[in-house]
Amino acid sequence: MNAFVTRIANYLANEILVKHLAQNKTFQNMALRTHLRVEKTKEVAKEMMEEVEKEGIKQAKTIGEAAAEGAKQQSAAGRPQPPARGFGGFVQAFVKEVKKDFGS
């Protein structure tokens, strides 16, 4: 019996609220502004995703080309050379990395 009364109350409340809100100009304006704002946000997000996708593809191509070049150099050189050991090897590796960082 309780469920029946609850269903009737919900039905009446929904009917009154829906009809009242459908006729309310303020609610209609708010719903329209919300809809337009959501659509604009979707467009901006779509544009941003396209830019990110293009940039990702560009970076992937650059990385792929660099990897192919590295593989070509390694195959041309034959077997890779192990790094020098000890303090001298450390200094050589350090200088090499600093040169890469500064673009020399």
With beta carbons less than 8 A apart as the criterion, state whether 80 and 74 touch. Answer: yes
79: tokens are 């077997």
Q: Is the pTM of this model over 0.95?
A: no
With beta carbons less than 8 A apart as the criterion, state whether 55 and 63 touch. Answer: no
The pLDDT, as a whole number, for residue 80 is 67
Domain count, the chain: 1
Widest distance between CA atoms in the chain: 90
What is the Cα Rg of the chain in Å?
33
Nearest to 34 by CA among 46, 24, 45, 26: 26
Domain span at residue 61? 2-102
The pLDDT, as a whole number, for residue 99 is 86
Per residue of the chain (104 residues), give pLDDT as tens.
788 999 988 888 888 888 888 899 999 999 999 999 999 999 999 999 999 888 888 888 888 787 778 777 766 666 767 777 888 888 888 888 888 888 75
